Structure 1
């Protein structure tokens, strides 16, 4: 959850990263045939 007063820019980058994770999860799942939820958490760990 975002705190009120957080900059719009930060929210934008957060959303952008979430979309990136989703898209990369699709690509990885296709290439490696791994469960998408595993890939998503793997990518989240890298980005955080």
Structure 2
């Protein structure tokens, strides 16, 4: 299983902001996948 290294609070905040505000859908989806991976969900 692929997973990201544990995220810092600052990184989580940045990713949440990207999900809420980034103009490109692909970036929002990738940011969401990274947050889910940090929570223990499988990306693939």
Q: Give the TM-score range, shorter chain.
A: 0.3 to 0.5
TM-score (norm 2): 0.42
| Structure with the largest fraction of helix | 1
Higher relative contact order (CA 8 A, sep 6+): 2
Rg larger for: 1
TM-score by length of 1: 0.39
